Amino acid sequence: MLTPLVFIEEEKCKACYACIRICPVKAIELRNSDDFPRIVPERCIGCGSCLEVCSPGAISYYDSREETRQLLKSGSKVAALVGPSISGEFDDITDYRKFVRMIMETGFDYVHESSFGVDLVAKEYNELISNFLGKYYILANCPPIVSLIEKYYPQLIDNLAPIVTPMIASAKVMKQIYGPDIKVVYIGPCIGAKEEAFRFDGDSKVDAVLTFTELRQLFEEFGIKESTIEFSEFNEPLGYKGSLYPVSNGILQASGLSEDILSGRLVTVDGREEIISAIKQFDESIDFIKKHFNIFYCEGCIMGPGTSAGGKKFRRHTLVAEYASKRLKKFDLNKWNQDIKNYTNLELKRTFSADDQRLPSPPEEKVEEILKIIEKNEDGQNLGCRSCGYDSCRDFATAVAIGIARTDMCIMHSLKSKQEYIRTLKVTNDKLARTQQALQESEKRALHEKQHAQDALETNQTMLRKLPTAVVLVDENLKIIGSNESFITILGDEAAEINEIIPGLIGADLKTLLPFQFYKLFSYVLTSSEDVLGRDVHIDDKLLNVTIFSIKKNKIVGGVVRDMYMPEVRKEEVISRVSEVIDQNLELVQQIAFLLGEGASKTEKMLNSIIESHRSGNEAKE
């Protein structure tokens, strides 16, 4: 097949890994670089287990409806081969003859039941088993089982019964009846049959395989309903006990082979849970078991992946038995025997070929490393819960080491990791809560301080505007970033006109407003960061006292300018300078007084010393 038999639609996939866990051969892998699981076509056996467990409906199989439409439009005669599982699937159709007619309404020229092909194959099995020559066989009727052995148990290929499936046997009958140009479409419950059809050519060729669900979709597409059509019978030849084939041991009843515990030569195994174990035991112990194995992957074809979802096994089992019972009551056994003789010349033998898909074993140290990561070992903790889909923790670790699985598929490891993650989250959340509370308190303080700052700013701006002293702030490019009314007044009428357009002269170039000797002082402070204090500057008929200081080094400077001819400034300046002279004189007087005081003190000490000496001399004379 050029197109994969089964594939995953990533846009629907929820990455639940259910498909990985259920795949019996691990043909669905999840590598570290993948976001979604991926089906490896060459390793897939077409069992359809992944379809059943994918609740989002992200897994689909190869759709044969378009192929069928093209065949029906081709102008060639087309025969439908209907699997005997029809009776278990279409319980909503009251009479099988209505069902036959519904198929013909879609455009088929002939409708045959493949139960006659089952009878032919059953006859071959009877001869093979009855003529026992010491080799035990696995019956090769189930395509997924054949694929499983070819890919994963190639050492058992010689034990596969070399007989074609009922589908291929029926196709050979169609070619013999209608000629080699007849187109054949098989309709049944197995998606693995789609891949099997591509293995054969010539008189064994099946041109398309429809599942029962695809057939229902065609009925809906063509608007075909049971209530609007008449009866129609299957085309001959009709099958006999081949109608029991949908039940796992039905092929044995059709072949007349016994499963008797004491005398029987065969055992029947069905269901995903049992078949792998059965094949392993056949491989390891067949010389002890001494039985042929009749193996079906599903619990009978009535439960195949191509049937409607939600079907109940024993209800379908009953429907198959009732259908076969009704037919056999009026069955023309003589006619059937003659038909069997007519097709004894058909070649029903086949061969198989190995397609080994077994993965190489990784280094043991790598497996041990994975076991340590998932915290599993051989001293009792290697629980092997099988939730990952592997039989043991070692098998799972091997898959991880090979690269087809990831450690997060281990439920216990994931739960522990999640619990640790939850604990970490709790600690983080507590820290975040405390941090959030601190931030809220900090935000409150910041808002409070911002309000204070805003109030202070408004107060300062008001005071700045009302100050009689001129104030100006400029940036590194000598652009004004703030000034007050007094500064604008000093500059004159031109500055006042600019102020009406641009309040505060913000953005104005200081070099255009002040003479060179004035703005040069601002440039000096910007470049040197040294303040200029109390410098007198003459502009026209004005005497200005200027103080320029650095606010942000090499970025912002401020200037305070006083007009010395303003009355209040002149008065203040006179008082200031008189006070300065008085302070200087007082300091000189204090120095003189200190010196005089120091000399008077020394004279006093000398006089006291003379007097004291004179007194001491008189006392000595006396």
Most confidently modeled range among 36-40, 411-415, 508-512:
36-40
What phi and psi, each to the nearest 5 degrees, are found at residue 533? -115, 130
Q: Say how far apart CA 185 and CA 24 lie, in whole Å.
A: 29
Ramachandran region, residue 24 (left: φ > 0; alpha: ψ -120 to 50; beta: rest)? alpha
Ramachandran region, residue 504 (left: φ > 0; alpha: ψ -120 to 50; beta: rest)? left
Q: Which pTM was predicted?
A: 0.67
Output the pLDDT for position 203: 94
Contact between 21 and 37 under an 8 Å Cβ cutoff? The reply is no
Parallel, antiparallel or unpaired: strands 470-475 and 292-296:
unpaired
Place of tokens 């866990």: 21
DSSP letters, 78-107, are: EEEEE-TTHHHH-TTSS-HHHHHHHHHHTT
Q: Say how far apart CA 513 and CA 490 lie, in whole Å.
A: 11
Quick: pLDDT tens for 417-465: 666 656 777 777 878 888 888 888 888 888 887 777 677 656 656 666 6
pLDDT classification of 243: cutoffs 50, 70, 90: very high
Mean pLDDT of the 185-196 span: 96
Rg over alpha carbons for the chain, rounded to the nearest Å, is 53
Contact between 302 and 320 under an 8 Å Cβ cutoff? The reply is yes
Quick: pLDDT tens for 342-396: 999 999 999 999 999 998 888 888 888 878 777 776 554 555 666 666 777 877 7
Quick: pLDDT tens for 293-340: 999 999 999 999 999 988 899 999 999 999 888 888 889 999 999 999
Side chain identity at 384, as an amino acid letter? G
Helix, strand, coil percentages in the chain from 3-state DSSP, rounded to 5:
55, 15, 35
Output the pLDDT for position 87: 86
Quick: pLDDT tens for 547-568: 888 888 888 888 888 877 766 5
Residues in the chain: 622
pLDDT classification of 39: cutoffs 50, 70, 90: very high
CATH architecture of 468-565: 2-Layer Sandwich (3.30)
- Planar angle of CA 525, 527, 532, nearest 5 degrees: 15
pLDDT classification of 621: cutoffs 50, 70, 90: very low
Contact between 572 and 579 under an 8 Å Cβ cutoff? The reply is no
Parallel, antiparallel or unpaired: strands 183-188 and 208-211:
parallel
What does pLDDT average to over the chain?
84
Mean pLDDT of the 531-545 span: 79
Contact between 108 and 78 under an 8 Å Cβ cutoff? The reply is yes
Quick: pLDDT tens for 97-153: 888 999 999 999 999 999 999 999 999 999 999 999 999 999 999 999 999 999 999
3-state DSSP call for residue 573?
helix
Higher-confidence residue of 608 and 534: namely: 534
Side chain identity at 386, as an amino acid letter? R
Tokens in use for 136? 């035990």
Output the pLDDT for position 595: 54
